[in-house]
Amino acid sequence: MQAAPARTDTAPRDDALADRAFRWLVTGAGVLVLVALAAAALSMLWGGRDAFSTFGIGFLWSKEWDPVGRQFGALVPIYGTVVTAVIAMLIAVPVSFGIAMFLTEIAPKWLRGPVGAAIELLAGIPSIIYGMWGLFVLVPVLSEHVYPWVDAHMGQWPLVGALFAGPPLGLGMLTAGLVLAIMVVPFIASVMREVFLTVPGRLKESAYALGSTRWEVVWDVVLPYTRSAVIGGVFLGLGRALGETMAVTFVLGNAHELVASLLMPGNSIAATIANEFAEADSEMYRSALIALGFVLFLVTFVVLSLARLMLRRLARREGR
């Protein structure tokens, strides 16, 4: 049996060089992300400089959108983007929580695999498929069977009745929110399921031994243990909902009108850019659309920054 070759004097030096090269390589990968992010933001800001210089900060709260008169404002797209994303999260978060709880606490083992695989497959469906399904299947059902009832009953409620009053067109912000909710459910549910599986079994068994019900175990043990990760998953879904384009474009109605009713057509930043960029026949028109892209970048950045701030505060409160 031959002995292993002895290490030469240059071996420590080679190891140090390799370690230094690896450190610079991974550092460059991290810096590349920041450079790409800054380049994308600056390129959109530069492309929208004409709109910002012409309309100023009032571009953000002006509801006028007149390509012929070259008067543009971002309020209607911003409003539609925020409202549809909020509707989506109000629906998707409870549904995702229920799916994750079912897969981790209630479902038999033989069922967890197929349902989990189905959730992951839903996450891989292209957004245009959701948009086509929403337009050809969901919109007719809502306009014929759901929205007439909503307008007749919920539209008469005090204070919030204006949100549900309107013609049953089928296309509108509520429909867009429903489609977005269906799209983001797989992402949030997958994150919740994975983090719920990290809860030590001894914690749950101890709670059950003390006489806790299943709901008490979930509410008092599972959620506090995974709170930060669950909030991160929710904001991940929110970021997806804010930037969605094709699915929203199909069912939103694409109308530059600021209305309170969720049943009426509206518009979003991504849908406006997708629909009108090819038709931009002037430099100001094109600059306004690029400026909308910069506004969407800012909205998403602010939302994700708030998520990071919330997670950091939770971590400090938990003593980590």
The pLDDT of residue 137: 92
Q: How far apart are CA 73 and CA 287, in angstroms?
A: 12
Mean pLDDT score across all residues of the chain: 85
Buried-state track 90-125, b at ≥16 Cβ within 10 A, e below 16: ebbbeebbebbbebbeebeeeeeeeebeebeebeee
177: pLDDT strictly greater than 80? yes
Contact in structure between 41 and 297 (CB atoms under 8 Å): yes
Q: Which residue has the higher pLDDT, 290 or 301?
A: 290
The pLDDT of residue 319: 59
Q: How far apart are CA 113 and CA 307, in angstroms?
A: 31
Place of tokens 């069977």: 145
Angle CA 187–192–198, to nearest 5: 135
Contact in structure between 263 and 168 (CB atoms under 8 Å): yes
Contact in structure between 169 and 265 (CB atoms under 8 Å): yes
| Both tokens assigned to 14 | 């080679």
Average pLDDT over residues 231-240: 84
- The pair phi, psi for residue 293, each rounded to 5°, is -60, -40
Average pLDDT over residues 254-283: 87
* Residue 84: other Cβ atoms inside 10 A: 31
pLDDT, tens only, 44-88: 889 888 888 888 888 888 888 888 888 888 899 999 999 999 999
Amino acid at 72: F
Tell me the torsion sign for CA atoms 302, 303, 305, 309. Answer: positive
Q: How far is CA 141 from CA 91, 137, 181, in A?
A: 18, 7, 17
Place of tokens 């384009």: 245
317: pLDDT strictly greater than 60? yes
pLDDT, tens only, 2-15: 555 555 556 677 77
pTM (2 d.p.): 0.85
Q: Containing H/E element for 71?
A: strand 71-72
Q: CA-CA-CA-CA torsion for 30, 35, 36, 38, nearest 10 degrees?
A: 130
Q: Which residue has the higher pLDDT, 4 or 192?
A: 192
* pLDDT over 90 percentage in the chain: 22
